[in-house]
Structure 1
Amino acid sequence: MNRKAPRRGIVQISEVANGLIDPVLARRAGINTMLLGSWDEIAGMDFAECTRPERITWPRRASEMAGEGEKYQPGVLTIACEGARALFLSHQQGEIVQRINGFFGFPAINQVKIVQKPVTPQARHRPKPRPLTGEAARHLDGLVEGIEGDALKAALTRLGTAVLGRRR
């Protein structure tokens, strides 16, 4: 038999990172990177910036200890929420549970536990890069000249300005 090794092709760094991070998150917090990445859509505009999922606690099954057939029980999602927004979030618990269960595709959560703590990282002041002048500006313009998309061209110009501006 002539067996060829499967070709992996191009693999995105996010897939590699998720493959490394997901088992750790699942073991320690019962969540995965897909949940964290989709949290803004799950929480909605009102709570996306002031909340984050912390962990899912699954109840211990009595059948595990007795060795009987498994009976599934939904877990408790712990959500970190900033300050007074926790009160508003508590009123929306039912909707959050429905959205989480819709995300998983089965009734994974039956309860939400809210803990008040800071969620947003403290923004560090980053100075804007100085505009490029002279040869550096011409070099950057030449590099992005063939880019067709305006948004992509603008993003690459910002990146190039930041990178080339540091060398001074």
Structure 2
Amino acid sequence: MQYRLKYIAFACFLIALSSCNPDDNNSSNEEQPVAVNEFTLGDDNYSLEQGYRSQSSEDSPNLFLTNVVLSGPGLTLNSSNILSGNGDIVGLEFYTTVNDGLQPGTYNLDSLNEQAQTVYAFIGVDYNAQLGEAIIEDEIFSGTITVELLENGDYKITGSGTADDANEGFTISYTGELRLII
């Protein structure tokens, strides 16, 4: 697990921050539903603010991997583009047969990820970027995660499952930009 959390720190090293302004082109008087960006573990909620994604890469013959990192308040990239601070974090490894980035669809949570349309998920609560450790670290092996590509280019990631060590329910809901790691 610590290897995966250190991988998150390395992935975030490659990501440059850019500001994001809401798009107010909606002239409708109808209120748009507000997206709640969070994950839950049992009865506890953890906020998510930023999202990042890698380019897809071949993991094994005809199986491609795209990494997604979602981070909460307290984690930032410093001027050297290194993740710093303390906060909550979710890592998702999406596996597909297409070498074309993150693909919309429903993915089964899985610990083996030997086939397409599976995802490996791990969480870190109060993740310390300097140490690469979290107060609570857990993996999610059962359940599903759904990815939608919205018309404005943002992504919507939702799902639920069961945390492995905690044996508690896990949910995720994130709508927003997933900045591409170059």
Task: Report the TM-score range of the alignment, normalised by the length of the smaller protein.
Answer: under 0.3
Give the TM-score taking structure 1 as reference length.
0.25
Q: TM-score, normalised by structure 2?
A: 0.24
Structure with max Cα Rg: 1
More contact order relative to length (CA 8 Å, sep ≥ 6): 2
Larger helix fraction of residues: 1
Higher strand share: 2
